[in-house]
Homo-oligomer: A and B are copies of this chain.
């Protein structure tokens, strides 16, 4: 497996495999990999000849006071995990390689970036859209793989790729959960033992909503209220948002008609976790 630290190294690797007629899949990550990331790698391996994993904790998608400095990093462990998974190259640049002095360009996706994490984390999705545009231009993959845990991010990247005429297929892969239901996240390592238990309220409240919809509930306000009440039953949980929005435009809904996204962001101590499910009306 190749470990590329510079744009030039990864470009030269991709150019050489392309020259052999091979297809290239990219799995963009911020590292500290868990089975959710590895499911993206497996899907990429299944669909592309060569797989590149990027590992870059992107400073521009963190706001002031967020966890950019403390975000967990362990490149050596990550490299072992993806090598075992059959990845062909890691692209792990330093921040200065991605944002050299004088850097001044940004990419914005209006609309889909505005609610949910866009409202809670101003500038977050501008950072995401900009770094993903860069990674796509650097690696020029045929396909790129993203987890549905960041459902809004997936919608944003699909919109970005279509709007800017990038010739890349975006593949989204289901959330991977721990045995007890907690969605895999690099940020789960922040949780104290008590918060780790309390965080099960996320997947429990999603299940509750799915069950209510299966029983015929279509009223969005009532559904949200039940989810909020469920989360509030856990005293360690502090809600950032609970929303039910249309797919793919993330607009407000009164009644479930088509599929809709139920998305949660909840704090446990200093740790903000997100989770979501699609409600099938």
**Alpha-carbon gap, A137 to B133, bound state (A):** 11
- A residues near B, CB below 8 A? 7, 11, 102-112, 129-130, 133-134, 137-138, 140, 159-160, 163-167, 249
Report whether over half of chain A's contact residues are helix, strand or loop; otherwise say mixed: mixed
Per the bound structure, the CA–CA distance linking A107 and B164 in Å amounts to 9
**Closest B residue to A160 using CB positions:** B105
| Bound-state Cα–Cα, A259 to B164, Å | 35
Q: Which residue of B has the minimal Cβ distance to A166? A: B137
Residues of chain B lying within 8 A (CB to CB) of residue A11:
167
Let me know if A137 and B110 touch, CB within 8 A.
no
Complex Cα distance, B273 from A194, in Å, reads 68
Give min CB distance, A139 to chain B, whole Å.
9
User: Which of the residues B103, B106, B140, B165 comes within 8 Å of A7, measured between beta carbons?
Assistant: B165
Q: A105-B163, A137-B167 are in contact. List 14 more A-B contacts (CB 8 A).
A: A7-B165, A102-B111, A105-B108, A105-B129, A106-B107, A106-B108, A106-B110, A107-B107, A107-B108, A108-B108, A134-B164, A134-B165, A137-B165, A138-B165
CB-CB under 8 A from A7, the residues of chain B are 165
Identical copies of this chain, number: 2
Contact (Cβ within 8 A) B112 A163: no
Nearest 7 CB-CB pairs, A to B?
A: A105-B163, A104-B110, A137-B165, A104-B111, A138-B165, A105-B109, A134-B165
Give the CA-CA distance A107 to B137 in the complex, in Å. 14
A107, A109, A160 — which one has the most chain B CB atoms within 10 A of its CB? A107
Cβ-defined contact, B137 with A103, below 8 A: no
A114, closest chain B residue (CB):
B104
Q: How far is the CA of A182 from the CA of B23 in the complex (A)?
A: 51
* A159 adjacent to B105 (CB under 8 Å): yes
Q: List 14 A-B contacts (CB under 8 A).
A: A102-B159, A102-B249, A103-B163, A104-B109, A104-B110, A104-B112, A105-B107, A105-B109, A105-B164, A106-B108, A133-B164, A134-B163, A134-B165, A138-B165
Minimum CB–CB distance from A26 to chain B (whole Å) comes to 13
Chain B residues in 8 Å Cβ range of A160: 105
Q: Is the CB of A137 within 8 A of B108?
A: no
What's the minimum C-beta distance from A279 to chain B, rounded to whole angstroms? Answer: 23
Docked Cα-Cα span, A164 to B109, in Å, equals: 16
A172 CB to nearest B CB, Å = 19
CA distance A167 to B137 in the complex (A): 8
Min distance, Cβ A190 to any Cβ of chain B, angstroms:
32
Q: Which of A105, A134, A140, A249 has the most CB of B within 10 A?
A: A105
**In the complex, which residue of chain B has the Cβ closest to the Cβ of A139?**
B165
Contacts of A164 in B (CB 8 A): 105, 107, 130, 133-134, 137
